[in-house]
Amino acid sequence: MSGGANAARGEAAIVVAGETLVLRPSFEALVATEEELGPLFALVERAAEGGLRLVEVAGLFWHCIKDRPEHCTRERIGAAVVEAGLAGMTPVLKTLLTQILQGR
């Protein structure tokens, strides 16, 4: 799941309904994530403890989508996470969480 994503920028990619979407944890995206899900450090801690909820993963991904197409919905993001399974989404999640902790 790396189509078009620039790892040097902390980007990752997910496939949603057959379309590859790039996730970029920009300042704006992370602020929006924090406003919805609470402090990012707490999010990272929950992930490290295995306590991250599916809705949180989908929320983080939603806010980080770069150039989100109009037809893309949160429901589709959630469905893509479920379809790929947590094991399939773990590398994407790890990339974003690493970027949150380390920056560029």
Both structure tokens of 42: 């707490």
**pLDDT for residue 36:** 96
**pLDDT for residue 46:** 94
Give me the residue label for tokens 């990272």. 44
pLDDT by 10s per residue, the chain, length 104: 445 888 878 899 999 989 999 999 999 999 999 999 999 999 999 999 999 999 999 999 999 999 999 999 999 999 999 999 888 899 999 999 999 888 76
CA pair distance 25, 30, nearest whole angstrom: 6
**pLDDT for residue 2:** 47
CA pair distance 100, 104, nearest whole angstrom: 9
